[in-house]
Structure 1
Amino acid sequence: MSLALALPDLDVVGSEIVRLPTPHPGKLFGKGKLQELGAKLHEADVELVLIDGPVSPVQQRNLEKEWKVKILDRTGLILEIFSDRARTREGVLQVEMAALSYQRTRLVRAWTHLERQRGGLGFVGGPGETQIEADRRAIDDQLTRLRRQLEKVVKTRELHRAARAKVPYPIVALVGYTNAGKSTLFNRMTGADVLAKDMLFATLDPTMRQIELPAVGKTPQQGGGRKVILSDTVGFISDLPTQLVAAFRATLEEVLAADLILHVRDISHDSTDEQARDVEQIMADLGVSDDTPQLEIWNKIDLLDEEDRDARRREAARNDTILTLSALTGEGFDTLVQAIDTGLDVPRRTETLTLAFSDGRKRAWLFDKGIVEAEEPGEDGWAITVTWTERQVAEFEKL
């Protein structure tokens, strides 16, 4: 239901949970349920039906033919929402690629009326096969074009990342389930005005700000604390379509470069534990290292009643990496700033490395990370003095 309400132009007239022990391969629902639902849709004059789950191309075609309505499954709906939200060039390209990848798998429903076009000698191949293949090639060509355009954007992002690495400011990334309150917290910490609404995927395009953390008791505008780069990312969601995971990987890779991750949770949500597991799974799939320090932020504590609020505070107090917070009212904000400052105090050591003149890639990596203190050429190569963390040591050893 929340996904449906995330599209502003939709008027949701009802919802129903249908239990399917065995989904029908052709029409998803059995004959009786198909007729029952069809009657309800006709009575309510429904034009669009949303199904919270996967629907095969054949099932979609048959249901649309049976009910005379447009069908969108979970993936299709999320793509519609993302398309409505994308604002930057990168966001638009990523959504277009995800949508084309999705459409490519569903060409069967668009061309089944072309009975006269058959593959082979007319004895094998389905109806419209030749046209489907031609259309698939057209989509592949378009995907290739979009991929090239996105590669340029990704290179620009990498250049920005390299430039940030030369400025010794740590990166703090906000991650979390969609609508957990990341953008509200981002705005409070930066004094920015990023779109923050009570709806899914309010933030689609990533936002980064170089800020000076407020000293305890001061406003974000007053600063006085450590300088960091704060990153607000697209919200995660359960069963995130594979097309979107692939398309938005370049954006989400900002999390991989983070020195500290703030996992923001809507602690007032009935499914907060399930949402947290979904976020952890997606971060694991992205390859976020277990060594990256993380803080879990239990946001929207103000929405709980007094008894639940006190219980959550006591529970969080037993774990140094969990904080309770209201990004809206500011409750717990000073404690968060202190925790970020402490979390970024990662032990570092200084040592001198000897690299052969042929190890240009490793030398470039050290400079990109902004950890080189001095460099001297010698007979056998470069003597490079670095100050780095254990995490950076591990990354360097993988090169």
Structure 2
Amino acid sequence: MKTFVCSLLCLLFVGGLNAQEDYKDKNQKFEYTIEKKHQVVQFDPDALRFKKRPKNIILFIGDGMGVAQVFSGMTVNGELNMQNMSHVGFNKTQSADNYVTDSAAGGTAISTGTRTYNGAIGVDVNGKPLTTILEYAERNNKATGLVSTSAITHATPASFIAHQPKRMMYEEIAGDFMNTDIDVFIGGGADFFTKRVDGRNLVTELSDKGYRVGYSLEEVEAVKSGQLAVLTAVGHNAGYRDRGEMLVKSTEKAIEVLSNADSKGFFLMVEGSQIDWGGHQNDASYVTGEVLDMDKALGEAMKFAIEDRNTLIIVTADHETGGMTVENGDPTKGKVSTGFTTGNHTAVMVPVFAFGPGAEAFSGVYDNTEIFEKMYKLFRFKEKDRD
């Protein structure tokens, strides 16, 4: 009896830790038909005159987004903003301890230029904190921001701002936000800031530091500058059908606030988190809808970059999820049929799209760590500043 009770308690404990991972339940929905097409940004590429090097970088990470995920979106929408970006490459996603990376190690490789073990958030294989591109940007008087459709404490956004040995240390990750001067962050995860085991209320602490804190984008609509934190859900945000234009509006708001900052430019990471979740569930509808949602947000960033002429946009992924393939489709009907080989991540290369000053640096095939290196060099950060 005692053994049974212990086993039950262990299951409950692990279940609680995995509450943020419950998007991995697999089902079998293979077909997607588009509900509403979005228009891509129209521009004359021959008329664009970008600066030589970027003052600003906007990095989009489609979590779990491989070539099939992109092509699925392209099939049903007819065209994507992604395909109109000027340069295309591929990054190899392996982590330090596994041929198949997870989002924590994948995000850390992109954010720090160092491969680490699966599950690590902003630390190396020995658990030593690594300086992220966001933190280097702060050191060099650039404004910084994070946007995510997951909890803002989840693996990918966390890997740009936190330093923890395990990705599921959500309260500790939220605490790491307090150790930075990030200008804008928008995403779910409010409970990790307010309903904490240690009794701290990080929302109060953020307010005391001068942040305007809101729980919806409507609440902060009038905010144009300053430091802004918007916790859009207690945990993760809803899927694309139910959250509306959250990612598009969050991207717009982050760009607006960061571009108004008294700084030497800005760095912004925007994550389309739930492409990955659709892959884990082998759900083509979920995957494709999330790709299209991120592409709409990308369109807003491209409009800014075209007018600004000083902003580099990069779109990539931390890994592919689902082993997805496009089996058939009908672009005239906005319809695609897909197959999946797994409910987990795969080891394949993932695409990199780039647009704006310095975009040519992202052509070719390279390790995921090179994305950090390329951003660092294009920002002209000095080598002597490297940790």
Structure-1-length-normalised TM-score: 0.24
Asked which structure has the greater CA Rg, the reply is 1
Give the structure with the larger helix fraction.
Answer: 1
**Bigger RCO (CA 8 Å, 6+ sep):** 2
